[in-house]
A and B are shown apart, each in its own frame.
Chain A
Amino acid sequence: QVQLVQSGAEVKKSGSSVRVSCKASGGAFSKWAISWLRQAPGQGLEWMGGIIPIFGTSNYAQKFQGRVTITADESTYTAYMDLARLTSEDTAMYYCANNYDGVFDTFETWGQGTMVTVSS
């Protein structure tokens, strides 16, 4: 059974950066499309971008272009999301999720979420 396990909660200062990891167990990691999504407290879901490890290329939502970097390490079955220049508006739960067909459409298995809190 595929599981995605994310790194722990983070507290960051405004202007700094954060890295969240997502480690997969089971399944053909390299062929998946792995996305990062976020959810601000009490709000809806927002797709930030994703990567297909076997191709190594990332795609980003326009809102996050230039501020987010998504990478993957096939040797450790781990995906990473780096978000720079944090503000209080980046306070949210961050999720990784995969698509087994290697396309950025639906999100089939989800990580447990990582809470990122940005304070001034």
Chain B
Amino acid sequence: EVVMTQSPATLSVSPGERATLSCRASQTVSNNLAWYQQKPGQAPRLLIYGASTRATGIPARFSGSGSGTEFTLTISSLQSEDFAVYYCQQYNVWPNFGGGTKVEIK
């Protein structure tokens, strides 16, 4: 099984600032990596797939990068609606998720 590790567990950021979230795979997943956003009481929402392609309707302030084992989600200028938990997910083999990064207001 591919183990997905996200860091940090919690990220404190002020509105308008940049947030950088990391995701590491225990073995290569090529670019078969997605990112999701989950707000309290809601289902997750797909943000990024193929490591760097934004899903339909996702604002340009969200960007993904990386390949192989190291991946990054960047939110260029945090808006109030972006404070949430973010999960990475590999799909190189059967799908599995990282433990999540909570982005909270500083």
Q: Do A and B come from one complex?
A: yes
A residues near B (Cβ < 8 Å) are 35, 44-47, 59, 61-62, 95, 97, 104-108, 110-113
Q: Which residues of A contact B95 (CB under 8 A)?
A: 35, 47, 104-105, 107
Are the CB atoms of B46 and A108 closer together than 8 Å? Answer: yes
Report the nearest A residue to B96, measured CB to CB.
A47
Q: Which applies to chain B's interface (DSSP): helix, strand, loop or mixed?
A: loop
Tally of chain B residues near chain A (CB < 8 A): 20
B91 interface contact, C-beta 8 A: yes
B94, A61: Cβ atoms closer than 8 Å: yes
**Cα separation A45 to B86 with both chains bound (whole Å):** 11
Cβ contact of B46, chosen from A44, A46, A106, A112, cutoff 8 A: A106
Task: Find chain A residues with CB under 8 A from B1 CB.
Answer: 62
CB-defined contacts of B43 to chain A, threshold 8 Å = 95, 97, 110-113
